[in-house]
């Protein structure tokens, strides 16, 4: 029976590791991002693992951690390992020439000798993906072993004292050390593990969401951080990168190569860097390249690596020449007719042609497909097969593959006439520009989502999903929110917080961009302040989006129903946690007799005796009442989601949530009366559960729901460490 239980546990572990979304290392959440050259020396990040006390090690020292390099063109120190006798080992990221395919990780001994060098292919660093770095120092045999990606090496360790005892370990900036460390690459780390003499294990997941300390799960050792940038909350909460005033109806383009926003105005050009929030002006050789009071549409052409812009209906798509600091010619005699406002522009990489779809003008909605003639600098309508892509504007488009594009949602009607009833389309089409055909993929026959997308969609064909930034076009003071949407069925799930958006139809503008190199999403909003000025706001969000403790992101092909998946995931993880606990308890005697404990096998040890009267919110969700009973099972998926929403908002924003905000986040598409009843039931059940925990209660004060913490409740733990 015991053997059957162990085999069942292992099967469940393998199943959830490979089948569930988010099991891949690069889809996990958490980590610490280091501020580097884009911040002043005083604001750069430091992680000190030995401020409390040094590591004690005489024979063997092993360090492993997950490493992600955001930019492979920035030099700097990743960590310094320093012996009390002033001997040092430093890991440096060293860029190479732009034309070289490799960058390098170098281990420097005592600041004078390149002890080891690992070549790192730049294409392996794309998308800021996580890879495990492993360094093992054998002080007895004077050997050092390194491994990263699929490369490993062993080198003789000369110049180090035998049986060195006390060690200090610092990641990132260390201006106070001698010699000081101030050059920091653009990197992030997580899952830092240290093993000394094969018996003292430490592990810092670095999955905190705020604060200047991180806790070791093994022995409770504290690590101290200066100027941290925690990655966990940045996957759900949009962060404002900057704001600036622009001329009315200016164009905004995101340059994926230089990570800059270009603001194209009637008589000037500016660049905004979202990393530094700095803006610089580009001098122009002519005073007015665009006509005033006409909307400018700007975009960055990735295939030609050029900044382009046009004014709808003006004919010519213009290119900016950075060497001559001027735009290409424009059509002075062109008559401006606003027939296609809020249309969609796409570039077909196969035919290398630009196409425009849909739009609004002169009280009519359009579903016209137009092609741009780059020689004549003019647009012409082309026929295409279409049975269900009705006239509309305010649609979203995204490149799927080859000549295929997604067309999602919009606002219009079957007849295309504004005087007839206008409605929001909640449908998804596949537009094949090679076949000149539009095909309906799905539609929401109930039309229950009164939402419209911004212009750009972010598709992921392999995951059968795309991301869209949606808002309610029937309100002026509305908000944008990121949604994950299925390519196959009308399944929609909110995966971010909201962005304020003032929607005034053709006088407003917003869009969404994906920075694959740095794993970020960008969004901007623009609305008119006066007849001559507008306000531009730019926001960023870490990718993949979503709350780490509430919902997975990537969708496995074996699951089609997200509700069932969420319930199964929570149930499975809870069951798995219980099984692992009992399994470890059964084999504990074997583990204790092991003569050569392995760092990896011991890493995931769970506490044998659960604490009383506490919550643990990272890793498997755990809740214990004042008597030590496990009450986590009382939290259904929706109750846990409601509780975590209140908790995270209070921790992150230091304030509670209103009832309307709870409904907006958790039941956005339910009828108002039904959502209010559901929310009331959820609140009542959470309050009942918390009655079993002393010192923790859910209260309603100042029209907001918040958690009230008092003695004897100790804390809300972010770990599953031993109590």
User: Which residues make Cβ contacts (< 8 Å) with residue 290, sequence separation at least 6?
Assistant: 264, 265, 266, 267, 296, 309, 311, 327, 330
- 484: number of Cβ within 10 Å: 26
Eight-state DSSP code of residue 34: P
Q: Do the Cβ atoms of 523 and 252 come closer than 8 Å?
A: no
Coil vs helix vs strand at 652: helix
Q: Do the Cβ atoms of 259 and 556 come closer than 8 Å?
A: no
Buried b (16+ CB within 10 A) or exposed e, 68-104: bbbbbebebbbbbbbbeeeebbbbbbebeeeeeebbe
Eight-state DSSP code of residue 562: H
pLDDT value of position 295: 87
Q: Do the Cβ atoms of 428 and 400 come closer than 8 Å?
A: no
- Give, to the nearest 10 degrees, the angle between helix 659-666 and helix 637-653: 120
Listed residue (239, 264, 267, 244) closest to 254, CA to CA = 264
Q: Do the Cβ atoms of 19 and 556 come closer than 8 Å?
A: yes
* Whole-angstrom distance, CA of residue 505 vs CA of residue 478: 12
Listed residue (540, 480, 72, 499) closest to 261, CA to CA = 540
Is this structure's pTM higher than 0.75? no
DSSP string, 171-188: EE-BTTSSS-B----SEE
- 133: number of Cβ within 10 Å: 19
Listed residue (55, 6, 305, 18) closest to 166, CA to CA = 55
How far apart, in Å, are the Cα atoms of 593 and each of 190, 582, 589, 596, 609? 31, 18, 6, 9, 21
* Bridge partners of residue 172, in order along the sequence: 46
* Whole-angstrom distance, CA of residue 56 vs CA of residue 387: 73
pLDDT value of position 14: 37
pLDDT mean values, one per 10 residues, the chain (723 residues):
43 39 50 86 92 88 91 88 82 87 90 86 73 90 88 80 78 86 91 87 86 87 90 82 90 93 92 90 79 87 90 82 86 64 93 94 93 87 95 96 96 93 92 96 76 95 94 92 92 88 90 90 93 92 68 30 43 51 43 40 41 72 82 84 81 75 74 82 89 86 83 54 35
pLDDT value of position 165: 79
* Whole-angstrom distance, CA of residue 551 vs CA of residue 565: 10
Q: Do the Cβ atoms of 375 and 340 come closer than 8 Å?
A: no
* Whole-angstrom distance, CA of residue 502 vs CA of residue 243: 15
The torsion angle over the Cα atoms of residues 634, 640, 643 and 646, rounded to 10 degrees, is 180
pLDDT value of position 509: 93
pLDDT value of position 192: 96
User: Which residues make Cβ contacts (< 8 Å) with residue 181, sequence separation at least 6?
Assistant: 77, 80, 170, 172, 173, 174, 175
* Bridge partners of residue 427, in order along the sequence: 443
pLDDT value of position 29: 62
- 185: number of Cβ within 10 Å: 23
pLDDT value of position 604: 39
DSSP string, 245-272: EEETT-EEEEETTTTEEEEE-SS-EEEE
How far apart, in Å, are the Cα atoms of 92 and each of 39, 172, 327? 19, 10, 42
pLDDT value of position 343: 92
Q: Do the Cβ atoms of 296 and 266 come closer than 8 Å?
A: yes
Listed residue (561, 577, 567, 560) closest to 637, CA to CA = 567
* Whole-angstrom distance, CA of residue 339 vs CA of residue 313: 7
User: Which residues make Cβ contacts (< 8 Å) with residue 346, sequence separation at least 6?
Assistant: 354, 355, 356, 357, 397, 399, 405, 433
Torsion angles phi and psi, residue 687, rounded to 5: -60, -40
């Amino acid at each position: 029976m015991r053997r059957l239980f162990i085999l069942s546990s292992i099967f469940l572990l393998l199943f959830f590791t490979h089948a569930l979304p988010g099991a891949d290392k690069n889809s996990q959440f958490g980590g610490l991002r280091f501020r580097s050259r884009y911040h002043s020396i005083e604001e750069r990040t430091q992680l000190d693992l030995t401020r409390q006390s040094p590591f004690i090690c005489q024979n063997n020292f092993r360090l492993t951690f997950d490493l992600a390099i955001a930019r492979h063109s920035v030099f700097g120190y990743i960590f310094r390992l320093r012996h009390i006798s002033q001997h040092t080992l430093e890991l440096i990221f060293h860029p190479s020439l732009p034309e070289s395919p490799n960058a390098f990780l170098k281990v420097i001994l005592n600041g004078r000798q390149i002890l080891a060098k690992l070549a790192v292919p730049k294409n392996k660093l794309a998308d800021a993906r996580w890879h495990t770095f492993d360094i093992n120092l054998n002080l007895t045999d004077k050997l050092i072993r390194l491994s990263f990606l699929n490369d490993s090496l062993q080198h003789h360790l000369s110049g180090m004292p035998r049986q060195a005892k006390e060690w200090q370990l610092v990641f990132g900036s260390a201006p106070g050390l001698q010699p000081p460390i101030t050059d920091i690459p653009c990197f992030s780390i997580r899952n830092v593990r240290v093993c000394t003499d094969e018996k003292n294990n430490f592990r810092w997941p670095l999955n905190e969401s705020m604060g200047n300390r991180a806790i070791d799960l093994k022995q409770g050792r504290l690590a101290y951080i200066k100027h941290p940038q925690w990655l966990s909350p940045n996957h759900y909460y949009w962060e404002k990168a900057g704001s600036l005033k622009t001329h009315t109806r200016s164009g905004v383009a995101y340059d994926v190569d230089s990570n800059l926003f270009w603001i194209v105005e009637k008589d000037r050009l500016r660049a905004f860097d979202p990393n530094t929030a700095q803006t610089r002006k580009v001098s122009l050789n002519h005073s007015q390249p665009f006509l005033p009071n006409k909307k400018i549409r700007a975009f960055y052409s990735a295939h030609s690596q050029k900044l382009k812009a046009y004014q709808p209906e003006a004919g010519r798509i213009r290119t900016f020449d950075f060497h001559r600091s001027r735009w290409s010619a424009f059509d002075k005699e062109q008559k401006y007719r606003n027939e296609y406002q809020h249309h969609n522009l796409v570039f077909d990489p196969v035919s290398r042609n630009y196409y425009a779809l849909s739009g609004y003008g002169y009280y009519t909605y359009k579903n016209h497909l137009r092609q741009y003639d780059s020689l004549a600098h003019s647009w012409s309508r082309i026929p295409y097969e279409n049975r269900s892509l009705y006239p509309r504007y305010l649609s979203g488009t995204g490149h799927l593959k080859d000549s295929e594009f997604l067309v999602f949602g919009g606002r219009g009607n079957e007849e295309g006439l504004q005087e007839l009833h206008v409605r929001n389309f909640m449908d998804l089409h596949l537009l094949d520009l090679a076949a000149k055909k539009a095909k309906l993929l799905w539609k929401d026959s109930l039309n229950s989502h009164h939402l419209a997308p911004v212009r750009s969609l972010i598709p992921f064909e392999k995951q059968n999903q795309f991301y869209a930034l949606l808002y309610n076009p029937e309100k002026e003071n509305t908000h944008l929110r990121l949604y994950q949407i299925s390519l196959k069925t009308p399944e929609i799930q909110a995966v971010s917080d909201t962005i304020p958006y003032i929607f005034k139809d053709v006088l407003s503008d917003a869009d969404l961009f994906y920075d694959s190199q740095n794993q970020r999403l960008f969004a901007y909003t623009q609305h008119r302040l006066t007849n001559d000025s507008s306000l531009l706001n730019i926001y960023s969000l870490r990718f993949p989006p979503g709350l780490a403790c509430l919902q997975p992101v990537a969708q496995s092909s074996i699951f089609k129903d997200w509700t069932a998946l969420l319930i199964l995931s929570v149930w499975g993880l809870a069951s798995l946690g219980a099984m692992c606990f009992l399994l470890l308890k059964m084999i504990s005697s074997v583990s204790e007799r092991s003569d050569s404990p392995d760092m990896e096998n011991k890493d995931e040890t769970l506490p044998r005796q659960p604490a009383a009267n506490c919550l643990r919110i990272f890793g498997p969700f755990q809740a214990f009442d004042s008597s030590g009973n496990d009450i986590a099972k009382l939290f259904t998926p929706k109750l846990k989601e409601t509780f975590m929403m209140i908790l995270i908002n209070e921790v992150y924003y230091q304030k509670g949530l209103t009832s309307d905000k709870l409904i907006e986040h958790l039941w956005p598409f339910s009828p108002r009366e039904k959502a209010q009843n559901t929310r009331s039931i959820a609140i009542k059940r959470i309050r009942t559960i918390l009655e079993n925990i002393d010192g923790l209660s859910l209260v309603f004060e100042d029209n907001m729901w918040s958690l009230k913490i008092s003695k004897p409740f100790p804390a809300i733990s972010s770990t599953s460490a031993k109590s």
